[in-house]
Structure 1
């Protein structure tokens, strides 16, 4: 893979064992990645390459102006702007956007924004088969994955399909320069979560582990610099590069307890996605630490910390992120309900997922405690 203007691969992996046990298989999925500064200027070229004649630009309401500005790069291929994307990809929002697609004879999608907007693009592309260009403005990484999390009636469910992977991803460092530092920090911790779980995934392999460690290194180096100098192009490039690597990991191997918990908490209580990841991650890492010692060693090394869970917790505090689920809107009486939901159909995980310790984990994250390892 290359970070120049080039094709880059996501991956699906099947193994006869864990990467640490020697045997693995790696299957690359081909999609096009443009990485650099100013690459958003090639949007029209990419739309033409994909045969798009009537594009619908997708954004959140907050990024309406950005969507309109970048949409001009499509020239007469721009057929509409939908600004209703929301976090956790509510099914009712997707249905509303689908009506716009059908009424305007749309033949291509351009998602400009973070995970909420990219998720909407995936949902529409899955339902319609239309080509999808993603232009990330955060470090969420969902543009690199064949995964879609949708919410209906307070329950978030996950789908996996190679049809969900965008046809082209345009990473433009310039689009991240105005991303507020606190959003950058939360989004970056969300990306790091993908890499942490990639180390101990049951289908981990040497390539994804290399990307995971390099991704954490790049983000841990970049995020504190962004807090001090948000317009530092070098820090922004490092963060976007790290997010790309972590996103590939998310798409390449299965995720575990941490992502299950965040899906449950986000869907049940409508919590902000990135902040939820930042708060839960140290506790999920502590829960798995004894069962995944090699993974914790690599995480600690990437963070320049003696202890992986504590290093993750300290990084979040250094970045000024909330450390308690209570601070982002989760009610205390939701702890038991969330634990009950989390142990249903649990993801593969190095340590068995049992109700009592999971409830303790969620309670500690709700209070904002430092991570406690068994």
Structure 2
């Protein structure tokens, strides 16, 4: 982790509204604050009813609702949404839902420059980052551009009440991965370290309560707060091995996003622990556990989350291909990334053996 004498930190320029009911009571005000008069509302099919309710709260400002968001943002899906936004003369977008919906809003912002308002209904954390991703020809590419950063984020814990427990758990562990990787990022800072540790601590505390009582608005609020912190960490730092692995597994092999992050996280952290012991110790303290990677793996098991790539649909014959793709991409990581090392990591994650 970075010390107090040598670091830089970029604060993300956005406004956040956080309160129960905010999706229907605050989104219209955020649109007015940004001077928007023709807003396109975006969602996936699963969140269409919520998106329509948000659209209704916008009144005449809403010029359309598009429910075509898909996981990993395929290029053809982004193309259709951009065409619709232009055809409707939209001057802004409101993305309602999880990472897929917000990712689609970012794709529109990247191509058109239209301002984006995010109304998250999961714990993905995408709303806090200038990171965009698009999938084309079986490969997911990502980038960073300030144009895709939402201008306003409306956090409403009530939107997460209907999130099924299995998706609650994997979405939350996906968010946790953002904080964990930020702790060993080359461009980290003391402020990011504080946010990361608090994000991990808050999420780990809320998750067992949510698994036992999914309707607890208080626990939902704490998890959303944790996701905000974890997403902010991702937005302020460079991604490493964990995220690159998940992008390859999702973009090339079609594995589900949050579940893949859940499975891979303990193994990626175990791989990097020898080269980033202070980061691993910080995660362990946040989890109140002796060994961070083991604690994350055990937490996922206690909460009934998937713990093998095999159960997500990856084939054993895909492991070598995935390892080669990961090694073929240049990115920062505290431990050197070798094909042999990545293949061993993937094989352990495929089989579900305890991370070491």
Which of 93, 98, 101 matches 1:117? 101
What is the CA-CA distance between 1:29 and the residue it aligns to? 2.6
- How does 1:61-100 map onto structure 2 within 5 Å? 61-100=45-84
Conservation of the 8 A alpha-carbon contact between 1:257 and 1:346: no
2:170 aligned residue: 186
Cα distance per residue 1:279-334 (max 9 Å; x no partner): 00000000011111111111011111110100010111111011011101111110
Cα distance per residue 1:62-92 (max 9 Å; x no partner): 1111111121110111110110100101110
What is the CA-CA distance between 1:21 and the residue it aligns to? 6.8
- How does 1:273-352 map onto structure 2 within 5 Å? 273-352=257-336
2:208 aligned residue: 224
Q: Distance in 2 between matches of 1:102 and 1:25?
A: 38
Cα distance per residue 1:92-132 (max 9 Å; x no partner): 00001112112211111000000000000001011111111
Q: Does structure 1 residue 174 correspond to structure 2 residue 183?
A: no
1:28 aligned residue: 11
1:12 aligned residue: none
Conservation of the 8 A alpha-carbon contact between 2:4 and 2:189: no
1:358 aligned residue: 342
Which of 211, 231, 240 matches 1:256? 240
- SS of the residue corresponding to residue 283 of structure 2 reads helix
Cα distance per residue 1:208-245 (max 9 Å; x no partner): 00000000000000011101100111111110000000
Deviates most, 274-283 or 32-41: 32-41
1:39 aligned residue: 22
Q: Does structure 1 residue 243 correspond to structure 2 residue 227?
A: yes
- SS of the residue corresponding to residue 133 of structure 1 reads strand
Q: Distance in 2 between matches of 1:108 and 1:136?
A: 17
Which of 254, 263, 285 matches 1:270? 254
2:192 aligned residue: 208
TM-score by length of 2: 0.98
What residue ranges of structure 2 are gaps of 5+ in the alignment?
none
Q: Does structure 1 residue 102 correspond to structure 2 residue 53?
A: no
What residue ranges of structure 1 are gaps of 5+ in the alignment?
1-17
Q: Distance in 1 between matches of 2:59 and 2:4?
A: 53
1:10 aligned residue: none
